[in-house]
Amino acid sequence: MPRFLHTADWQMGRTFSRFEAEDGAALVEARFKAIETLAGLARERQCDAVLVAGDVFDAQGVSDRTIRRVFNATQGFDGPWVLLPGNHDAALVESVWTRAQRLKSVPDNVLLALTPGVITLDEQGLAVLCAPLTQRHTYSDLTAAFDRYETPGHLVRVGLAHGGVEGLLSEDIDATNPIAADRAKASRLDYLALGDWHGTRQIDERTWYSGTPEPERFRNNDAGNALVVEIDHPGSQPHVEAVATSQFQWHQWREALSVNSDLERLIERLQALPATSVLDLRLSGEITLDGDERLNHALSVAEARIRSIQCERSSLQLSPTQEDIATLQADGYLGNVITRLRDLQEGEQGEAARDALAILATVLKDPRGESAS
């Protein structure tokens, strides 16, 4: 009964420049930790092999240090690893893979599927049919060659490929590399292990995307898993178990605020986030000055507790109430200024007006420039 781990889209060498330096560094390190987690999972589940369906590296030009660290991270599992080039790390004549070989950083148990064909793992009961990408984009189905590959009848027949299943995935998938929707059946595969879609997704009973083991995008596509696959014997239906592997959880919230209860619910959600969260928050609607102060406090507390928060609030208008203005003691001229800034938020100067209103409210609440207690 062969049991193997299916993973893909490690994207090693990816940078996170949109984040603060400290957060970006933590997200980079999490990707190396993910490989160690995969090795530990393969060992604990007594897997016969680890199959990586492309995009091990995010680009051809990653550093030598990154290359060495990737292969060092596999040491926790001494069974065979089969690594397939994807669209980000295609098996070019000169590539990240040829550099890794020159660096002599590839362990003996790590097999690089740099050319199309079959890797036979007789001891593990597996025949791995490989369709590596030799250029970033192809316009023919490289897995069509699987139809012609003959494998020993006693071995489980597993396809390993990187690309988009035709007609089933959205147009924003990374690569143009097409894969026939019926490939597993047409090529007599017991299982087809795919990469390129960064979330875990079942295509049919024998075809799966594992997704990336550590999320790196704000998409609700069930990323952060690896698949443990068991197949009793050639021809039997695979048993597939998705196992969570991620260190960080990425969340994308779009919140429209209009009444006080909206703000209360948002603050409660912020408080409930685990420390391993990466949050992209975009706010719209209206908020009072008092509500804005409470929101700022909640965001400040959350920023110190979770991994990262990025908050976009240019579409959130400050709408001071009469109580806000009375609290600020902004009668007469200042009251008129506040009203004018509130109205300007509707036009081309909206963002500048909102910032000015927030600054004015802060100054009026604490004219000495000291933080409010």
The domain spans of the chain are: 3-244, 249-365
- Res 220: pLDDT: 80
**pLDDT for 339:** 76
- Which pLDDT does position 330 carry in this prediction? 59
Q: Average pLDDT of 128-150?
A: 94
pLDDT of residue 169 exceeding 70:
no
Distance (Å, whole) CA 81 – CA 39:
10
Domain 3-244 CATH assignment equals 3.40.640.10:
no
DSSP H helical segments within the chain, as ranges?
A: 21-44, 64-72, 96-102, 183-186, 260-272, 289-303, 322-328, 332-344, 350-365
d(CA 347, CA 372): 31
pLDDT at 131 over 90: yes
Are the C-beta atoms of residues 325 and 290 closer than 8 Å to each other? no
Residue 193 burial (C-beta neighbours within 10 Å; 0-12, 13-18, 19+): buried
Decide: pTM greater than 0.85.
yes
Query: What pLDDT was estimated at residue 99?
Result: 98
pLDDT at residue number 173: 53
Binning pLDDT at 50, 70 and 90, where does residue 342 land? Answer: confident
Q: What percentage of the chain reaches a pLDDT higher than 90?
A: 77
pLDDT tens-digit readout, 268-321: 999 999 999 999 999 999 999 889 989 999 999 999 999 999 999 989 988 877
- Beta carbons within 8 Å of 159's beta carbon, 6+ residues apart: 128, 129, 131, 143, 146, 183, 184, 187, 189, 191, 192, 193
From 140, 223, 151, 135, select the one nearest 191 (Cα to Cα).
151
